[in-house]
């Protein structure tokens, strides 16, 4: 009986280290999972520059305007003329390539479409666009009585990044690393608001400097005259003037 008791006690003491090691391994498994690097430590989430994290894609796209021309119309309506002028101003400001105008052919409104094209040419002259540089191309209207007059040109467009990655809990961040969505809204707003996306690729050329004032100053310098601009004494105060005012008091 005593041998059985002492034997079981020895087995219990011998099994304690193994049980302790097993408990440590069980507790270490979830802790190791918490300490493992998350997606924020992986590229591109570790990049702090929004331009690298959320780049704006600048590419060539098509800008188009369809002007519906009904059968028997005398030309474009006032609303269509307003839309046309806005479209042509954008075309001019973008410094885009040739403007393409496609007129319906084989439809019941073919004659009305040519009258509308005369309004387009008239608006071009008013804005300063040479109609001779515009390419006119017919397309088959398949008998459509209200086939549109289509204007299009190739331009540089900015594609905004897609935001909304809130996959991580920002309320607890012991590492204080940039979160996945950091800077995306700013980049998206910039891509949507930029007037000329080509400015994101290269700077614009400088305008010629005005040289009138420079010539005047250079002539005074050659003649040994004072080149500083003349000012009325009331426009500025110097140290001597301030000291005299203090002395008079």
The residue ranges of every structural domain in the chain are 57-159
> To 5 degrees, how large is the angle CA 5–CA 8–CA 12?
135
Q: Which long-range contacts (CB under 8 A, 24 or more apart) does 121-124 make?
A: 123/81, 123/84, 123/85, 123/88, 124/88
Backbone φ, ψ for residue 89 (5° rounding): -65, -40
Q: Assess whether pLDDT exceeds 80 at residue 25.
A: no
Q: What is the per-residue pLDDT across 153-203, written as a single tens digit (0 to 9) for each?
A: 988 888 888 888 888 887 887 877 778 888 899 999 999 998 888 888 888
The closest alpha carbon to 55, from 231, 198, 212, 191, belongs to 191
Q: Is the sign of the CA dihedral 190, 192, 197, 201 positive or negative?
A: positive
pLDDT tier at 42 (50, 70, 90 boundaries)? Answer: low
Q: Within the chain, how many helices (H) and strands (E) appear? A: 7, 4
Element (H, E) at 65: strand 57-68
In this predicted structure, what is the pLDDT of residue 245? 47
The closest alpha carbon to 48, from 179, 174, 140, 154, belongs to 179
Q: Assess whether pLDDT exceeds 70 at residue 34.
A: no
The whole-angstrom separation of Cα 99 and Cα 64 is: 10
Q: Assess whether pLDDT exceeds 90 at residue 83.
A: yes
The whole-angstrom separation of Cα 69 and Cα 199 is: 36
The whole-angstrom separation of Cα 131 and Cα 118 is: 10
Mean pLDDT, the chain, whole residue set: 77
In this predicted structure, what is the pLDDT of residue 131? 81
Q: Assess whether pLDDT exceeds 50 at residue 6.
A: no
* pTM: predicted TM-score of the whole model, two decimal places: 0.50
- What tokens appear for 213 in the block? 């004032």
Q: Assess whether pLDDT exceeds 60 at residue 81.
A: yes
The whole-angstrom separation of Cα 54 and Cα 185 is: 9
The closest alpha carbon to 158, from 87, 90, 63, 56, belongs to 56
Q: Are 37 and 170 in contact (CB under 8 A)?
A: no
Q: Assess whether pLDDT exceeds 90 at residue 204.
A: no
Q: Which fold has domain 57-159?
A: 60s Ribosomal Protein L30; Chain: A; (3.30.1330)
Q: Does 121 or 8 have the greater pLDDT score?
A: 121
Q: Assess whether pLDDT exceeds 60 at residue 39.
A: no
Q: What is the per-residue pLDDT across 121-153, written as a single tens digit (0 to 9) for each?
A: 999 999 988 888 888 899 998 888 888 999 999
């Amino acid at each position: 009986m005593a041998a059985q008791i002492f034997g079981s006690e020895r087995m219990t003491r011998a099994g304690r280290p193994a049980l302790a090691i097993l408990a440590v391994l069980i507790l270490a498994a979830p802790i190791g999972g918490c300490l493992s690097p998350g997606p924020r430590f992986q590229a591109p989430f570790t990049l702090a520059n929004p331009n690298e994290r959320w780049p704006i894609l600048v590419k060539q796209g098509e800008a188009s305007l369809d002007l519906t021309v009904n059968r028997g119309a005398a030309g474009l309506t006032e609303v269509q003329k307003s839309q046309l002028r806005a479209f042509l101003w954008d075309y001019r400001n973008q410094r885009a390539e040739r403007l393409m105008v496609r007129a319906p052919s084989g439809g019941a409104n073919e004659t009305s479409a040519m009258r509308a094209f005369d309004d387009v040419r008239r608006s071009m002259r008013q804005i300063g666009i040479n109609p001779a540089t515009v390419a006119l191309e017919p397309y088959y209207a398949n008998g459509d009585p209200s086939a549109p007059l289509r204007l299009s040109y190739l331009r540089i467009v900015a594609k905004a990044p897609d935001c909304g990655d809130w996959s991580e809990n920002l309320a607890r961040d012991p590492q204080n690393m940039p979160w996945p969505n950091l800077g995306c809204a700013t980049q998206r707003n910039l891509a949507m608001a930029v007037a000329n996306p080509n400015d994101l690729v290269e700077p614009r050329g400088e305008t010629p400097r005005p040289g009138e004032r420079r010539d005047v100053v250079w002539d005074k310098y050659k003649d040994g005259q004072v080149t500083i601009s003349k000012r009325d004494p009331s426009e500025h105060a110097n140290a001597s003037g301030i000291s005299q005012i203090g002395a008079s008091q």
